[in-house]
Amino acid sequence: MSIRVHILTEGCVTTNGRGFLFPLLRYRAELRERGIRWRMFTAIVPEVYACDVLIVESKFYRLDWERRSPAILEELASFQQRIRRVLFFDTGDNSGWIVTDVLPFVHRYCKNQLLRDRTRYLTPMYGNRLYTDDYHRRDGIEDAQPVPATVITNAAWLEKLRLSWNSGLADYSRWGHRRMDLYQRLPLRWLLRSPTPFHPPEAPRPHAVACRINTHYRSAVVAHQRVLIDRLLSQYRGAGRLQRKQYLQEMAASRVVVSPFGWGEIAYRDYETFLCGAVLLKPDMSHMETWPDLYQNGLTMVAHRWDLTDLEACIATLLAEPERAVEVARQGQAYYRRHVEGAAAATLFCDHFGALLQEAML
């Protein structure tokens, strides 16, 4: 396989953008060995068109959608006419919100996480998320300014949806964000390293539960789950904001880390929990798919119901069964490490990205 890939991207500006680019940058040499040569562009220049596959990362248009969306769609149509394959990579936070306007103009729509039941994209969801729709319907929660529902109007377009990779392949260790800041100014490959250190799951953990939750969101329906969890688990609530060192130390000293949904289902705290060797406790993730598949209930993490009726029972069970808790934490950390550390991680990513490209070229 020999494929020239050009990527239109904002660069390593946002955390999501970094999560998208990190494995591409880190495994550039390994991809080249497989015949995949890619080049990054932060502006549309004539050279952009000289490729087999053009990837448009959604953050490339992050600041432009509201003021020039018709022009953006014209640009995508132009790409489609001049380039063999155009792939749109949506690096948004949640599984429900699709940028539906771009679907007619791209060959594939790749997203960090997708609803397992793709037909749900054909019907409106309040807040454009399955979980916000659930809280709206069950608890009557409404936003002061609801976002318009985005619905896929042509069922055939569901066939364009593909699973890309989530933000977990970047470095979420204590100094990871600093190294990425430096990489923007000094692009040295050694800055793109595996996250370290990993704290042993079996290490002494004097604290039962880490539950430091931000409940201040401009969307009431997004904040709702967090507000309820904060009330239910008030005895574990952390007061105030910690420096990053203390924040990671708190998780490394805790047996269970509570990680609710926010703007999306996946949180950076999830990856930090795997690093710190605690048990990750999250709302049920079985409604969605992501890669790597870090959210395997009872194996790599523990899930509770969206209505929170079993949340306290889940915590009580984990605290009463420390051997089981350590085993889940151990398996979660091992699965995460397999995808971010060593030659095996490079192979797994190159296999995944290569399969996306190869299928798109058919």
Give the domains, in start order, of the chain with CATH numbers. 3-112+164-168+343-361 (3.40.50.2300), 196-340 (3.40.50.2000)
Give the residue-averaged pLDDT of 210-218: 94
Give the residue-averaged pLDDT of 1-30: 95
The predicted pLDDT at position 201 comes to: 99
The predicted pLDDT at position 50 comes to: 97
What is the pLDDT confidence band of residue 238, given thresholds at 50, 70 and 90? confident
What is the pLDDT confidence band of residue 237, given thresholds at 50, 70 and 90? confident
Place of tokens 């996306």: 356
pLDDT digits (tens, 9 = 90+) for 299-313: 999 999 999 999 999
What is the pLDDT confidence band of residue 204, given thresholds at 50, 70 and 90? very high
What is the pLDDT confidence band of residue 275, given thresholds at 50, 70 and 90? very high
What is the pLDDT confidence band of residue 112, given thresholds at 50, 70 and 90? very high
Q: What is the model's pTM?
A: 0.96
Mean per-residue pLDDT of the chain: 96
Instruction: Write out the two tokens for 133.
Output: 């729709």
What is the pLDDT confidence band of residue 317, given thresholds at 50, 70 and 90? very high
Task: Using the predicted structure, report yes or no on whether residue 63 has a pLDDT greater than 80.
Answer: no
What is the pLDDT confidence band of residue 279, given thresholds at 50, 70 and 90? very high
What is the rounded distance in angstroms from the CA atom of residue 108 to the CA atom of residue 85? Answer: 8
Which CB contacts under 8 angstroms, 24+ apart, belong to 32-35? 34/1, 34/350, 34/354, 35/1, 35/2, 35/3
Cis omega (within 30 of 0) on the bond before 260?
no
What is the pLDDT confidence band of residue 64, given thresholds at 50, 70 and 90? confident
Q: What is the DSSP letter of 234?
A: G
Give the residue-averaged pLDDT of 110-128: 98
Give the residue-averaged pLDDT of 138-161: 97
Task: Using the predicted structure, report yes or no on whether residue 104 has a pLDDT greater than 90.
Answer: yes
